[in-house]
């Protein structure tokens, strides 16, 4: 006895086909479904629908007698899913290699064969992954802050004019660096196979973080109404070498491990020595985000090195190559260095300047030891870590 | 390079939509991979394609039902033979409908006397010629007993362009026509498009079942190659991920062996409308493909 379904008064022009589909879903090709209903056009609707779907319908399809209609299920649906595969396991770790034919399908989806393969550059797990990525993404989402409310923009910033100019110069420099740090993850994520969705999500959150940093640093820079500071050719040259790095792991290593890693010390310094509460706030907020970016960079680079120890050589030559490219540039904008000294000094008195100078020297030493620590964690021997840290750009990022 | 009478097959198809290029490019590539030298040319209307098929300028034509009727008549007059090759599973057992608004007092086709009936283009078998035959069979002479409001969109495409039918449906809902003619599948399409909201219309008449497109080989085609092509098309599987998008675009799940039993109604409709003469000459006065 065939399965049956009663559409009552529902027509196929108002969703009735969903009930027919449901009735057919449990059946195999060649099996039959009896369809009954009271809609006056049911017979013609069902005939037209079945024809388009590859099913056969028999019964009183004539005008006036919508008696029971007998649908024989066709093979099209079964044929459509021949060769369909699951795109990995949705809950578990991503596959070692993501199939380009999975395209944009959700991890774990049943993927119909056919369709264009995705042209993602990075489809190997070891090239993009770190086990901490899902947790870092969750942390990034939870820590999302609103620039409008997270900073008390009305707090007093009536600094001596020259100290204010130093703050503005530092902010101008920070914006430039954060723009590079925004563009790079945005560029990388477009080339990661969507199977590694947590990595894409994390890079998207990272780009969004940087967008907020650009906003708050710009806003602080303009708070006193004055013009922004300077942008040096050498600083921009240094940043642009980061944009040119084509490899995912190497780009992340240079940006997040070495560059943003170095910035952690800078932001800590700015937070601790800020001459006004707004500067302290924006540095603190950015620092919190950057720590996550560094954590992923370090975790992924270490992951890649664990999978293939020879990768240390690739990373080393990337640092050397960048150093060689930047040999002829001035490195850090002199105005930025001087501004940091004055910002830390708080005034032009010789004693204060001496203190500021020492603080910036200490900052550079802290930056160096932070870099060495992260390089050692990734797998570099201590002497090599020291050597590579010394080759890092004088522009900090 | 294949061509009429050469070592391959040249098919004519009508470019009723840009997707026709994608479809036949895809089929051509696949057929060539199977070892059949195959190419296609596109026509802007079915009339020239029918003429060229019978004249041997193309080996095959992907014919609308009306183009088949014309080609058959022309071939008969010219003393050449045509061979049906294949049709789509979706070309079999279609029906056209005549709809009125739900609240219309009209109960059947005869009730349309003195009223306005909206149709598709002048050369649409499904939305004009066949429904007009149904009216005639119900004792109503189109143009005399009922006023015909024709929507001539895509003339020359034999109704493949759905625009005329859609405009007829809109006219029905807008109240500028008392009835509208369309193929059964467009009843569902226009409902999805929101043109015919559920419950807004009622079917007051329908045609008998008829068949739609059919692929036809002409006098220049090499019979063995036609057989090879037929075998290849009938062997196309909807389970093949490369062919499936092409089959979806072409609107079929599988090719099936041809039959010629489904065109008698249209032959009668063509004669009743005076659309073609017995030799396939165009006799419809308002037809400019």
Q: Do A14 and B245 touch (CB under 8 A)?
A: no
Characterise B104 by phi-psi region: left (phi > 0), alpha (psi -120 to 50), beta (else). beta
A79 touches chain B (CB under 8 A): yes
Give the domains, in start order, of chain A with CATH numbers: 3-79 (3.30.110.40), 82-118 (no CATH), 125-391 (1.10.620.20)
- Cβ distance A76 to B241 less than 8 Å, yes or no, reads no
Mean pLDDT of A53-60: 89
- From residue B198, give the alpha-carbon distance in Å to each of A35, A48, A52, B189, B190: 19, 16, 20, 12, 10
Average pLDDT, chain B: 96
Query: What is the average per-residue pLDDT within A17-35?
Result: 96
**Mutation choice for B interface testing from A8, A10, A13, A56 by most B CBs within 10 A:** A13
Model confidence at B124: pLDDT above 60: yes
| pLDDT > 90 fraction of chain A, expressed in percent and rounded | 87
pLDDT of residue A61: 54
Mutating which of B238, B240, B245, B255 best tests the A interface, going by the most A Cβ atoms within 10 A? B238
Contacts of A79 in chain B (CB under 8 A): 237-239, 244, 253
Q: Is B282 helix (H, G, I), strand (E, B) or coil?
A: strand
Dig out the tokens for A207 from the structure. Answer: 């780009």
Across the range B43-68, mean pLDDT stands at 98
Reported confidence tier of residue A92, pLDDT bands at 50, 70, 90: confident
- The mean pLDDT value for A263-289 works out to 97
Inter-chain residue contact B253 with A83, CB threshold 8 Å: no
Tell whether B29 lies on the interface with A, counting CB pairs under 8 A: no
Q: Which pLDDT score is estimated for A397? A: 85
Q: Which residues contact A217 (CB under 8 A, 6 or more apart)?
A: A171, A174, A175, A178, A282, A286
Mean pLDDT of B14-28: 97
Average pLDDT value for residue range A325-347 = 86
**What confidence tens digit (pLDDT) does each residue in A146-170 have?**
999 999 999 977 899 999 999 999 9
Query: Is the distance from CB of B51 to CB of B74 less than 8 angstroms?
Result: yes
Give the per-residue pLDDT at A8.
Answer: 96
pLDDT at A64: 54
Q: What is the pLDDT of residue A137?
A: 97
Q: Does B184 touch chain A (CB under 8 A)?
A: yes
- Provide CB contacts within 8 A for B55, sequence distance 6+: none
pLDDT at B1 over 50: no
Cβ-Cβ contacts under 8 Å, B89 against chain A: 51, 54
Give the contacts of A95 (CB within 8 A, at least 6 positions apart).
A88, A89, A125, A195
Task: Give yes or no for residue A327 having a pLDDT over 80.
Answer: yes
What's the pLDDT tens digit per position in B148-195? Answer: 999 999 999 999 999 999 999 999 999 999 999 999 999 999 999 999
Restricting to B residues 97-136, those with a Cβ less than 8 Å away from any Cβ of A are 97
In this predicted complex, what is the ipTM?
A: 0.94
Which chain B residues contact residue A54 at CB under 8 A? 89, 238, 253-254
> pLDDT class for B2, splitting at 50, 70, 90?
very low
Q: Determine the pLDDT at residue A90.
A: 81
Cα distance from A49 to chain B (closest Cα, Å)? 7
Higher pLDDT, A302 or A235: A302
Considering chain B, what percentage of its residues have pLDDT values greater than 90? 97
- Residue B5 has a pLDDT of 57
Structural domains of chain B, with CATH = 9-91+212-260+269-273 (3.40.190.10), 96-206 (3.40.190.10)
A71 HSE (CA, 13 A, CB side) = 36
pLDDT beyond 80 at B3: no
Out of A40, A47, A74, name the one closest to residue B95 (CB).
A47
C-alpha of B135 from chain center: 20
Query: Which of B93, B173, B241, B251 should one mutate to test binding to chain A, selecting the residue with the greatest count of A CBs within 10 A?
Result: B241
Tell me the per-residue pLDDT of B60-96, one tens digit each, with 9 for 90 and over: 999 999 999 999 999 999 999 999 999 999 999 999 9
pLDDT of residue A328 exceeding 90? no
The answer, yes or no, to whether residue A60 has pLDDT greater than 80, is no
Quote the pLDDT of residue B4.
59
């Amino acid at each position: 006895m065939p399965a049956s379904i009663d559409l009552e008064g529902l027509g196929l022009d108002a969703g009735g086909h969903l009930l027919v589909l449901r009735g057919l879903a449990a059946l195999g090709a060649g099996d039959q479904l009896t369809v009954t209903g009271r809609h006056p056009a049911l017979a013609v609707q069902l005939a037209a629908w079945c024809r388009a779907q590859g099913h056969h319908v028999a019964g009183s399809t004539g005008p006036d007698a919508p008696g029971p209609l007998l649908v024989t299920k066709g093979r099209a649906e079964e044929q459509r899913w021949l060769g369909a595969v699951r795109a990995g396991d949705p809950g578990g770790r991503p596959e070692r290699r993501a199939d380009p034919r999975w395209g944009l399908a959700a991890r774990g989806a049943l993927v119909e064969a056919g369709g264009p393969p995705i042209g993602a550059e990075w489809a190997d797990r070891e090239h993009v992954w770190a086990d901490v990525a899902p947790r870092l993404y969750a942390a990034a989402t939870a820590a999302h802050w609103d620039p409008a409310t997270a900073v008390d923009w009305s707090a007093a910033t009536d600094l001596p004019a020259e100290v204010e100019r130093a703050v503005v110069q530092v902010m101008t420099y920070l914006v430039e660096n954060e723009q590079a740090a925004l563009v790079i993850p945005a560029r990388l994520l477009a080339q990661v196979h969507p199977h590694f969705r947590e990595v894409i999500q994390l890079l998207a959150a990272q780009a969004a973080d940087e967008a907020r940093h650009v906003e708050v640093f710009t806003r602080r820079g303009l708070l006193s109404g004055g013009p922004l500071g300077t942008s040096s050719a050498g600083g921009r040259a240094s940043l642009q070498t980061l944009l040119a790095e084509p490899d995912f792991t190497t780009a992340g290593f240079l940006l997040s491990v070495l560059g943003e890693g170095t910035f952690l010390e800078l932001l800590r310094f700015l937070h601790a020595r800020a001459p006004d509460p707004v500067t302290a706030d924006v540095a603190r907020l950015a620092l919190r985000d950057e720590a996550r970016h560094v954590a992923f960079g370090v975790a992924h680079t270490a992951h890649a090195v664990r999978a293939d120890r020879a990768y240390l050589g690739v990373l080393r030559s990337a640092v050397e190559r960048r150093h060689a490219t930047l040999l002829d540039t001035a490195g850090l904008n002199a105005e930025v260095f001087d501004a940091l000294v004055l910002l830390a000094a708080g005034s032009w008195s010789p004693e204060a300047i001496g203190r500021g100078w020492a603080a910036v020297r200490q900052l550079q030493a802290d930056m160096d030891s932070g870099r060495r620590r992260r390089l050692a964690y990734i797998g570099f021997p201590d002497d090599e870590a020291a050597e590579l840290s010394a080759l890092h750009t004088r522009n900090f990022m | 390079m294949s061509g009429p009478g050469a070592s391959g097959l040249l098919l004519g198809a009508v470019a009723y939509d840009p997707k026709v290029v994608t479809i036949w490019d895809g089929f051509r590539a696949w057929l060539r991979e199977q070892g059949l030298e195959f190419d296609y040319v596109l026509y802007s209307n079915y009339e020239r394609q029918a003429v060229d098929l019978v004249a041997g300028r193309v080996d095959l034509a992907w014919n609308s039902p009306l183009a088949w009727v014309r080609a058959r008549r022309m071939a008969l007059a010219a003393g050449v033979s045509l061979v049906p090759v294949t049709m789509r599973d979706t070309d079999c057992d279609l029906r056209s409908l005549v709809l009125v608004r739900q609240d219309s007092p009209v109960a059947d086709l005869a009730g349309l006397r003195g009223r306005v009936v909206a149709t598709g283009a002048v050369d649409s078998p499904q939305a004009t010629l066949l429904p007009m035959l149904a009216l005639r069979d119900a004792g109503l002479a189109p143009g005399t007993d009922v006023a015909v409001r024709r929507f001539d969109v895509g003339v020359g495409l034999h109704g493949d362009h759905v625009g005329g039918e859609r405009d007829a449906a809109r006219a029905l809902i807008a109240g500028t026509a008392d009835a509208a003619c369309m193929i059964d599948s467009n009843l569902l399409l226009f409902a999805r498009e929101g043109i015919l909201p559920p419950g807004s219309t009622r079917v007051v008449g329908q045609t008998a079942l008829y068949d739609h497109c059919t692929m036809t080989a002409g006098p220049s085609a090499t019979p063995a190659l036609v057989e090879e092509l037929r075998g290849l098309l009938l062997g196309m599987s909807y389970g093949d991920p490369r062919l499936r998008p092409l089959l979806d675009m072409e609107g079929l799940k599988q090719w099936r062996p041809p039959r010629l039993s489904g065109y008698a109604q249209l032959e009668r409709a063509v004669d009743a409308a005076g659309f073609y003469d017995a030799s396939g000459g165009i006799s419809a006065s308002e037809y400019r493909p």
